[in-house]
A and B are shown apart, each in its own frame.
Chain A
């Protein structure tokens, strides 16, 4: 059959794209990496250390980007959270953690002296202390716990990485914690 109809394509029409692979043409390539949880979670990328696993039940507050567990009875807990803005400032946050561990608040001086670790191409405040951990909503404190934490404040957001668990377990996993913190990268949107 002869093709007889011909039309001019407008100068405003989008530029043509040639040699596009079938997978792209049929939207098949993007499907597999599409995350189930969008929101903040898609802003960051990380590598989960060996032996750690994601908590099977979602956390009640919905604030955690990822909620990890480790240890023989999964008693070790580590999560990333992200708050917009300064989130109340460094001192308030460190001292909130101090309170949870049943410790007295740091003075401004002590806060200023806290060690730093490289994070996100810049640096973040690192805290580590022992105590009896009483998390949000918990009825009683868990004795002999240790807390590791990193707080990184940028202009738009503050990122927290917090790890808690029985002291021995935490110490065994402190290298993994560092490695986990290092692996956290901004997840740049793909074109």
Chain B
């Protein structure tokens, strides 16, 4: 307990710049061999074993919503190159162009060249008034600030963080939220850049005050127990020891995060023992708090870690020591049967499946749009099919959720908002099907209902989390209501414009031979584009599905526990649906669906990944790993959402198609020929 007090005290005082004597050149830290070596180091974080690169990635993503940073004044590609504080030369590559750091390179620079890391624009601030509130000079409304730029306001930042953290998250103003976020990021970065302080100068510089028995230069792998004894035996508060402040500060840096779940745990314990990995920081803190000596085995880990740092600036020695550390950790992890998927995960990070899938989907979509010959009758049939599939999946998913709840805590149905959201979708599907059977809904009615169904899906998917009650509330995603309303309003407009046209009986309802620009291209070219679209969309779907499956293997749980994962899953599933539908109908509609759903979901997911920017474990995930009912319920319900969403998309397309063909009939053929190549697939209906 008492140690915590002291840590808080230290956190409240400024970090002194550590003595930097022998700085490694930047190029060594960007050496592919070095980067690859460090990337692959297995680390235990948030309850699972992952490569160090993943840790670096998520830290950087949290700080600046990107996985990379440019060594320029603006932090962007086109900025002025930054000057190396040691050599006073601009940091550029062989061609004289600015240098880009990947996440792992950034972490290495932060560790071994904190002087550079501190001047890199790192913290993304979306609200410049938060910066003004700290007494700093604000740049643009949304801009990036380096550690060195924030540092002068450190005291103010700490004080404000203390105040604002007390305010419930929902009541914080955007500025307050920004400051709380910035201060957490700043403190974390302070610990990252100070990570090797415990090797650089573990006890500071006042050598005369060091406890007897400490060898110089001080190495914790040798002297940790002596120091721990000195702290324990010291009668008064440990802060009275002149070297203690530096020591504790070094230990904090060694920890690398103020969040206990994200401390650097890099030393696997011997097989059979505890599940929790050790790390340099935890080792030091345990030695002082636990009241018993660190064991020789643990200290040898610390020594191996020290070797890496002390090998600098000699490149060859550094590489050898880093490699030795990597092999040792890998072997120890292997002996425990852990870290099997490290290579797979590295591959996953680098392959960037969803990013490539997004562009393939988009290309496929454009090509598919060229070959589409939809008729309103076909669209109605397919939409109806998707309602049936949506009902089946959503109904089963919902009921399975109830069964999960019943077998987990004895309540089949709790009227929880998330459950109600799913129920609303099921009820809407049922109402649509029964109304159609009863003859109340014909073609137009069905499409109107589908558009409304889409609005319900959006509400169930995003909206219910915003109501702020219930077991399923994943936490609030800022500013989601405007997006939901945006969708609702857009759907209202679709109906407002589309319905009069359809009801007046105008606009084509029959398949019309290809005309206009497409006619000029010729049938052969259209056929070719269809084949190409097939290829592109199929490979995009394969990429997306592969990504989902690999993620599932790495995480050891179903891939649907965060919004990001859910969107990707739905995207992959919906494009698969589309391709299957296309295989059955062969009218081009399925390809369009696959393209639209795939492009939209991948794009959305990439947006959400940056805003989520955490790879931590949630309560739901904890349960999901252990429960069969839940792990069948979640995919089914999400597939149900996807199917209903596809139905809604088709119906939107139906209206757009009818309106455009109505417009075309107004303005005649000549106008249509002048139209440029459409960007959105749905608009191509006009040409058919």
Partner-B contacts on A (CB < 8 A): 39, 60-63, 81, 83, 87-89, 92-93, 96, 136-137, 158, 160
Contacts and interface: CB of A to CB of B under 8 A. Distances in A.
Nearest to B239: A61
Interface of B: 1-2, 5-6, 9, 232-237, 239-240
B233 A92 contact: yes
Contacts of A60: 9, 239
Contact of A63 (B2, B232, B233): B2
Q: Which 3 pairs of residues, A with B, have the shortest CB-CB distance?
A: A93-B235, A62-B5, A88-B235
A158 B6 contact: no
Nearest to B233: A88
Nearest to A62: B5
A63 B236 contact: yes
A161 to B, nearest CB: 13
30 contacts: A39-B1, A60-B9, A60-B239, A61-B5, A61-B6, A61-B9, A62-B5, A62-B6, A63-B236, A83-B235, A83-B236, A87-B234, A87-B235, A88-B232, A88-B234, A88-B235, A89-B235, A92-B233, A92-B234, A93-B235, A93-B236, A96-B235, A96-B236, A136-B236, A136-B239, A136-B240, A137-B239, A158-B235, A160-B235, A160-B236
Nearest to B245: A137
A93 B236 CA distance: 7
A137 B9 CA distance: 14
Contacts of A62: 2, 5-6, 9
Contacts of A160: 235-236
Nearest to B5: A62
A89 B233 CA distance: 8
Nearest to A135: B240
A95 to B, nearest CB: 9
B237 A63 contact: yes
A102 B532 CA distance: 88
A57 to B, nearest CB: 13
Contacts of A63: 2, 5, 236-237
Contacts of B237: 61, 63, 81, 136
Contacts of B5: 61-63
Contacts of B9: 60-62
B288 to A, nearest CB: 13
B653 to A, nearest CB: 63
Nearest to A158: B235
A137 B236 CA distance: 13
B231 to A, nearest CB: 10
Given A62-B9, A88-B232, 18 more contacts: A39-B1, A60-B9, A61-B5, A61-B9, A61-B239, A62-B2, A62-B5, A63-B2, A63-B237, A81-B237, A89-B235, A92-B233, A96-B236, A136-B237, A137-B239, A158-B235, A160-B235, A160-B236
B109 to A, nearest CB: 35
A92 B235 contact: yes
Contacts of B235: 83, 87-89, 92-93, 96, 158, 160
A89 B237 CA distance: 14
A81 to B, nearest CB: 7
B291 to A, nearest CB: 8
A96 B240 CA distance: 10
Nearest to B229: A88
A158 B240 CA distance: 17
